[in-house]
Structure 1
Amino acid sequence: MASELFGPDMSSLADYVRYSARLRAAMTPHVTGLLRAGVSVVLDFGANTLESRAWLHDILKDSGCPHVLHYLDVPTETCRARLRIRNASGTHPFSVSEEQFEHITRHFVAPSLDENFNITTYTFE
């Protein structure tokens, strides 16, 4: 969990971006090696932008393994409501403000077939 890896050093969105890039760089050779060895790997990384999915695609291309990209198609208002509940519970190590949520969701791009992923979409209301 990011809170255990980075603790108090991660207090802003900029910190998240910086540490996520470091984590991806460290994980890439390990995940690629596991996939080449025939081990199934499930990555629960944010793949909400073209850039983040390009990282995943590069791993898949380098490993030559089959894959599935699971896309959760959830309305923004549902996400916002769930975030409010999570923030109010106090059980998550990070609290996301409305402003941060808006900033993050502005960058969201749904996956498309042009990206050459095998996409399974789950639609929620």
Structure 2
Amino acid sequence: MTSESTLADEVELGNPAVLHMVCGKIAAGKSTLTARLGNAERTVLISEDVWIARLYPDEIHTLADYVRCASRIKTVLTGHIQALLSAGVSVVLDFPFNTTDTRAWGHALFRAAGCEHQLHYLDVSDEICKARLRARNASGEHPFQTSDAQYELITRYFVPPALNEGFDIVVYDETGNVRCPGAHDLQPK
């Protein structure tokens, strides 16, 4: 049996692809979680930060710059992501699904591919996110530096997911543990 027929058999036997999306404020732990999720078999991790840093080096200076470049990347990747999912490959998107508009894009992706999905919501307080952000900035390992003022600006647009949006939501606490696998408690901290 070839690896191609094995993959086809697994997809047909009810082992479908899953689209994993993450929601959480800056430095809530989205990239850490997506790296872990991306280690699963037949799974591809796609990181918005990596794409933006490589395609638009030194071009992201304002929130408007980010929105423009992120929109372009989503436009280019939409068909590719849907093709991966339709082929039985799970996809982990390290993109911030932090607004109803970005979540609508994710919803369109999994519906078009006819696959399962999970929206991973990292419910972490501003205080913890800011402390992590300062540590991340000091390490110099992240492709972008974010000030406290930028954190406040960007966080103003953050909208926690709601049950009526139609997602299978998994809620995590500030330690990275699953607090609520079925999204019964979606009150932000």
TM-score by length of 2: 0.63
Q: Residues 1-80 of structure 1: matches in 2 within 5 Å? A: 1=50, 2-80=52-130
Deviation at 1:61, TM superposition (A): 1.1
Q: Which structure has the larger Rg over C-alpha atoms? A: 2
The aligned amino acid for 1:62 is A
- Give the SS at the match of 2:144: coil
Paired residues in the alignment total 125
Report sequence identity in percent. 51
Aligned-CA RMSD value: 1.2
Which structure is higher in strand share? 2
The aligned amino acid for 1:7 is P
Which structure is higher in helix share? 1
**2:134 aligned residue (63, 70, 84):** 84
Question: Which sections of structure 1, spanning at least 5 residues, go unmatched?
Answer: none
**2:167 aligned residue (101, 113, 117):** 117
The aligned amino acid for 1:40 is S
* Cα deviation code 1:76-105 (max 9, x no counterpart): 111011111112223323211221111111
- Aligned: 1:95 with 2:133: no
- Give the SS at the match of 1:124: coil
Deviation at 1:8, TM superposition (A): 1.4
